[in-house]
Amino acid sequence: MSNYQYDLVVIGSGPGGEGAAMNAVKQGWRVAVVDERALAGGNCTHLGTIPSKALRQSIRRMMQYNTMPMFRAVGEPRWFSFPEVMKAADDVITKQVQGRTKGYARNRVHTFVGRGKFTSPHEISVTASDGKVTQVSSKHFLLATGSSPYRPENIDFDHPNIFDSDSILALDSTPRNIIIYGAGVIGCEYASIFCGLDTRVDLVNTREWLMNFLDDEISDALSYHLRDLNVMVRHNEEYESVTTGANGVTLELKSGKRIHAEALLWCNGRSGNTKNMGLEDIGLETDSRGQIQVNKDYQTAIPHIYAAGDVIGWPALAGAAYDQGRFAASHMCGMTDQYRVDDVATGIWTIPEISFVGKNERELTEQKIPYEIGRAYFKDTARAHISGEEVGMLKILFHQETLQILGIHCFGAEAAEIIHIGQAIMNQEGEANSIKYFVRTTFNYPTMAEAYRIASMNGLNRVSREHRRFEDKQR
């Protein structure tokens, strides 16, 4: 049994673990990363963000080919099976793993393959698949073990027609119809993916509207476009039971409805990967979903043990996890670096995609903040005419008096890219954070970024119009 001593041991090689490891090793710390997989990247690379987004990109390209008139002159529409479009995702995963592996090797970060379990507050045992156990001790630890799909006990996930968002990647054929239970981010993304494969989709939502954290207008737009893609969206429904047969799966709802399909994809919640890690043995508790509570510096109840990423819950975004890991490592090393990890942009890769940062209309109204809206519809921009992707809009919420940007919401092609222009201005201090920036700045033409100028002029014209009306009343 070998024994190793480090300054920092990271458990989990996803974005949070990588961010912490790389930041700490740059400060001269002796760092090790422990992961059950032999290939680096964590769930983000192998099961979540990378494969699902690569899969979605392939299907989006297929949809473009099948709907653009220019391509009809050279051939009929083409449809590919789920396994065929997954091949492109596999290539992306390989490239991601290679890049991360080289990064760890180049920076002399030691890697251990196996299951890490605490045997004391400063020591873990790493058990490899062959049973070999290695003892690893460290001054600090970072838990970045990610999350897994929540699986109710009364559903048989061993059945070949029942999947969660991890196991669906191994689907060996394209179902003619599928039930997706849960209309959160993952459920809506997979609804877009499967309807792009010409699969009939029943999307069962347990809430009143899709993703209630979205701006209401964006949520409405998503509902409309999913239905336009032949997705059957069912709101305010909960499952009663799931039965299986030779010809598929039947979902019985508490409302009395019964839905039958070839396959069921369960997308209703996730749990932190904290089981069998010995956390209870060192006095570290988790909540009912396996998540770990941390303070503002990402320290757990045991100060030298930190946590980052999905295992701590919200916002459960890969980009945020990476910065959380970096921030945690900075705090360990006594650095005063500050990262913007609280006000992050959220990207949702439905078709069309969604991205937002800041507050939405509902929140501003509840907080009694006087705001105005500036909108730019993609159908009015030259770049959208050129690309043929005219669905969508950019929406800027700003203070009626100070013109400070309060929130930005985007729906349409490349929304997750476009959002960062506004995010940069929104995070400026004082007068620099003003919607006037966008009307004083020259944008390349034609670009999607030009939507910021159009939306800002739209909003300022509305403020000016209201101001004139107020003055008229005063007279």
Q: What pLDDT, on the 0 to 100 scale, is given for residue 471? A: 46
In this structure, of 69-73, 190-194, 393-397, the range with the lowest mean pLDDT score is 69-73
Residue 256 has pLDDT above 60, yes or no: yes
Confidence bin at 474 (pLDDT 50/70/90)? very low
Distances (CA, A) of 46 to 34, 105, 150, 211: 16, 20, 18, 25
Residue 470 has pLDDT above 60, yes or no: no
26-56 confidence digits (pLDDT tens): 999 999 999 999 999 999 999 999 999 999 9
- Taking the C-alpha atoms of residue 38 and residue 18, their distance in angstroms, rounded to an integer, is 15
Structure tokens at 85: 């479009």
In 206-304, at which residue ranges do the beta strands (DSSP E only) sit? 231-234, 239-245, 248-253, 258-261, 263-266, 270-272
- Contacts for 363 with CB less than 8 Å, ≥ 6 apart: 407
Are both 3-148+271-332 and 162-268 of the same fold? yes
302-311 confidence digits (pLDDT tens): 999 999 999 9
Torsion of CA 217, 222, 225, 229, to 10 degrees: -170
Residue 342 has pLDDT above 70, yes or no: no
- Contacts for 366 with CB less than 8 Å, ≥ 6 apart: none
Confidence bin at 475 (pLDDT 50/70/90)? very low
- Taking the C-alpha atoms of residue 359 and residue 224, their distance in angstroms, rounded to an integer, is 23
Task: Say if CB 404 and CB 430 are below 8 A apart.
Answer: no
Residue 337 has pLDDT above 80, yes or no: no
Distances (CA, A) of 110 to 102, 126, 331, 402: 12, 13, 21, 52
DSSP alpha helices (H): ranges in 164-288? 185-196, 216-228
Burial class (CB in 10 A: 0-12, 13-18, 19+), 247: exposed
Looking at the chain, the number of H-run helices and the number of E-run strands are 13, 22
Confidence bin at 409 (pLDDT 50/70/90)? very high
Q: What pLDDT, on the 0 to 100 scale, is given for residue 64? A: 87
- Contacts for 160 with CB less than 8 Å, ≥ 6 apart: none
Residue 288 has pLDDT above 60, yes or no: yes
- Taking the C-alpha atoms of residue 255 and residue 116, their distance in angstroms, rounded to an integer, is 44
Tell me the residue type at 27.
Q
Enumerate the β-bridge partners of residue 271.
148
The C-alpha R_g of the chain, in whole angstroms, comes to 24
Q: What pLDDT, on the 0 to 100 scale, is given for residue 72? A: 76
- Taking the C-alpha atoms of residue 165 and residue 185, their distance in angstroms, rounded to an integer, is 11
Q: What pLDDT, on the 0 to 100 scale, is given for residue 235? A: 97
Domain boundaries, the chain: 3-148+271-332, 162-268, 352-474
DSSP alpha helices (H): ranges in 229-380? 318-332, 361-366
- Taking the C-alpha atoms of residue 326 and residue 18, their distance in angstroms, rounded to an integer, is 8
Average pLDDT over residues 273-278: 96
| DSSP tag of 449 | G
Superfamily of domain 352-474: FAD/NAD-linked reductase, C-terminal dimerisation domain (3.30.390.30)
345-381 confidence digits (pLDDT tens): 999 999 999 999 999 999 999 999 999 999 999 999 9
Give the CATH number of domain 3-148+271-332: 3.50.50.60
Distances (CA, A) of 444 to 314, 347, 383: 36, 24, 10
Q: Nearest-5° angle of CA 299, CA 115, CA 14?
A: 55
| DSSP tag of 342 | S
Task: Say if CB 264 and CB 181 are below 8 A apart.
Answer: yes
Strands 200-204 and 231-234: parallel
Nearest to 396 by CA among 335, 322, 334, 451: 451
Does domain 162-268 correspond to CATH entry 3.50.50.60?
Answer: yes
Q: What pLDDT, on the 0 to 100 scale, is given for residue 431? A: 83
In this structure, of 67-81, 301-315, 374-388, the range with the lowest mean pLDDT score is 67-81
Q: What pLDDT, on the 0 to 100 scale, is given for residue 77? A: 81
- Taking the C-alpha atoms of residue 193 and residue 199, their distance in angstroms, rounded to an integer, is 9
The mean predicted confidence, pLDDT, of the chain is 93
Confidence bin at 323 (pLDDT 50/70/90)? very high
How much of the chain exceeds pLDDT 90, in percent? 87
Structure tokens at 167: 């196991």
Tell me the residue type at 254.
K
Contacts 24+ apart (CB under 8 A), 241-250: 241/154, 242/154, 242/155, 242/156, 242/162, 244/156, 244/159, 244/161, 244/162, 248/161, 249/159, 249/161, 249/162, 249/179
- Taking the C-alpha atoms of residue 463 and residue 472, their distance in angstroms, rounded to an integer, is 14
Nearest to 410 by CA among 399, 400, 396: 396
Residue 212 has pLDDT above 80, yes or no: yes
Buried b / exposed e over 123-145, threshold 16 CB at 10 Å, is: bbbbeeeeeeebebebebbbbbb
Strands 133-143 and 123-127: antiparallel
Q: What pLDDT, on the 0 to 100 scale, is given for residue 341? A: 64
Q: What pLDDT, on the 0 to 100 scale, is given for residue 466? A: 62
More confident site: 4 or 430 = 430
pTM: 0.92
